[in-house]
Amino acid sequence: MFLSLIGLLILAVTSTIAKANPNLSSIGKTGRYVGIGLVLLGLSTACFIQIQPGEVGVKTLFGKVQPGVLTEGLNVINPAMEITRFDVRTQNYTMSGMQDERASGDDAIHVLSADGLEVVIDMTILYRMTGDKAPEILRTLGKGYRDVIVRPLTRTKIRDFAAYYDAVSLYSTKRDEFQQRLFKSLDDEFRKSGLILEQMLVRNINLPESVKQTIESKINAEQDAQKMKFVLEKERQEADRKRVEAQGIADYQRIITSTLTDRLLQYEQIKAQKELALSANSKVVIMGSGKSAPILIGQ
């Protein structure tokens, strides 16, 4: 439209000059051609608008939001329309007390648990706008819908749901339950406003220092108990092993004692003496005692 305005201005100026001085009529004629050309060029360019990927355009004519949206690519529009662009890609909003994750100040959520303790929660939510709801969002919420809906609604719901849990449960056993209930409630509220909640991440839950120390002491005591249980179990298994080993030795000795005879001993003695006598690297002389011990000489 800027070119069209320039063209109209040129038309007006050159026409005024030509009327005031007939000798400059050629200037008026040239000005008419240039002005008309700029007006047509401005109108033609104003009829086309390009929407980038991940965006939709909302049309406004004389302050009134028009139905329908412009999708990515080249679109033909009424040149009198004003186009407001909305991002429909996934966006994230982090509420944290960490210095490197907040824009300014402490943006973490401070809540009171069921047992009256202050708990600090860091959270990130991933959300996006529903493209076809963009005209309604512009009409009712405006472009700053994050500060109107996303931030205050999320913080309010977190405080409401956290009040049902005591601090330790919120930190440990009930954390997943808390996150699931919060997600369902927020998702319903977001959809009413034309937004979709994709994911909600409870990143950190900070307890009061006194509660932290109590939990750490309890965990250390449980670990010591588990360690002692392991030691006792190991000693018990070792005692069982020694008992089985002793029983085996006793059984072995009982069997040997019951089957050991003079003839068996004589036989074993003869075998041992024979092996020594036949050895190639030794010279052995074994003198027996008694009638049953033979004399073997090996060389």
CATH number at residue 132: 3.30.479.30
* Residue 208 confidence (pLDDT): 76
Clarify whether residues 152 and 176 are in a common domain: yes
Alpha-carbon gap, residue 86 to 69, rounded angstroms: 10
Residue found under tokens 């028009």? 66
CB count within 10 Å of CB 84 equals: 16
Q: Is the pLDDT of residue 50 over 50?
A: yes
DSSP label of 100: G
Count: domains in the chain: 5
The reported pLDDT for the residue numbered 73 is 86
Q: What is the mean pLDDT of residues 211-234?
A: 79
Cα separation, 1 vs 7, in Å, equals: 10
pLDDT above 50 for 116:
yes
d(Cα 277, Cα 298) in Å, to the nearest integer? Answer: 4
* Pair (98, 173) in one structural domain: yes
Average pLDDT estimate for 152-179 = 88
CA distances for 272 relative to 17, 54, 218, 268, 279, angstroms: 141, 95, 68, 6, 11
- Please say if the pLDDT value at position 121 is more than 60: yes
Q: Are 69 and 57 in contact (CB under 8 A)?
A: yes
Residues 202 and 214 in one domain: no
Q: Return the residue matching tokens 């991940």.
A: 54
Rounded Cα–Cα distance for residues 53 and 88 (Å): 9
216 and 280 housed in the same domain = no
Residues 212 and 202 in one domain: no
Residues spanned by the domain of 7: 1-46
The last residue of a domain, from among 89, 115, 142: 89
Instruction: Give pLDDT, residue 103.
Output: 47
Same domain, yes or no: 77 and 98: no
Run of H or E residues at 270: helix 262-277
Question: Across-strand partners of 94?
Answer: 124
Q: Is pLDDT of 90 > 50?
A: yes
Residues 3 and 36 in one domain: yes
